[in-house]
Structure 1
Amino acid sequence: MSTTVFLTGLGMGLSLIVAIGAQNAFVLRQGLRGEHVLAVSLACAVSDAILIVVGVTSFGRIASLLPWADPAMRIGGAAFLVWYGAKSMTSAIRSTSTLTVQGARRDKQLLPILLTCLGLTWLNPHVYLDTVVLLGSISTQFPGQQSAFAAGAVMGSFLFFFGLGYGAALLRPIFANPVAWRILEAVIAFVMWAIAIKLILGT
């Protein structure tokens, strides 16, 4: 397994998943409450792992059957990343909001919490674009090393979700500050643009 490709997959996976969204907010909220953190973190990480593996294994097959699919998806993915980066940069410049974790209904039953978590994961169209399409497309740049790339991306998901869930108590004072979110959004913007450039140059 190539360490470089593994680290690339790890970095790409973390870059895509760290964006502020409903799923991450839910994991953080559960971590702050200390309610079913293991189940929630595991559900998110395993769901991501399944989608990443599908993307890495299936995207190449689709591209081989449909030669135009690879460049089309690269260009489409790059366009999305440029837009996503612009959105993040706009948020970094203008937003004054923070991630709200107070005031939500406290439900300590595992099943409702798990169903909500899975709904936020599998019913979110962006998760398919991030994992199946974008990571699947990027993995084609590493022929013969896709498994290393996928392993890195999967590791990124596990590290992020478990780190977010169990590290929520430490993160709370940091992300209560809107400046912290703005800095994070700016970093995400530059990362997204960098990936977009790489996709375009690889076509």
Structure 2
Amino acid sequence: MSVQAEQSKIKICGIKEEATLIGMAGLSVDYIGFMFAEKSRRRVSPAQAGQLHELSRSIKMADGLPPRTVGVFVNPTMELIAETLQAVPLDVVQLHGEESPDFCRQVGDRFGIEIWRALAVTEDPGPERLQAFAGAVTTILLDTAGGGTGVAFGWDVIPAYQVEAAKHGLKLMIAGGLNPDNAERLMASYRPYGVDVSSGVETDGVKDNAKISAFAERVKRS
């Protein structure tokens, strides 16, 4: 069975408020993301993330389990990751910069943690880039160039990436410009392993629990 055939996972990224987590109880959300990139307006400190992580352990999602936590880093040092993990026991480290396959592998080996790598969708190089990350990460997250733009990339490239990901034992998640209005179309056409949303479930820059609920419902029912 292809790794793309499973029911799609949902990650809500850029969590900053306790009210957002509390309002997500009972939803079909699998992962929540904390932003540690310095230039992100959704950035939280390791201490803030630690408090949010602790709160998340008491919140049960639709499957009766708490959401898994993902820390998003952009070109971090190994020391920064170590310091962050001391403050917040993340389930996943997501690398969203120019990190090499070797660096991804080193992070996973040193901390014994699952590693995701975000890649911007570009024409050259294309899906063949995924081969270099085989064995270094579990998951590739396709995003619009620049990341955090709220703009979707051309979805017609997804099948080629899905084939390449499956060939190398990698899971493929889709990010970039997703929202409750286009979630069903993405799922009907491509059904990726998972989806990652942030600005698409916000109102005036703040997480909107009604939009999170609508997004989760439309992804899971498709």
TM bin (shorter chain): under 0.3
Higher helix content, 1 or 2? 1
TM-score by length of 1: 0.27
The structure with higher relative contact order (CA 8 Å, sep 6+) is 1
| Structure number with larger C-alpha Rg | 1
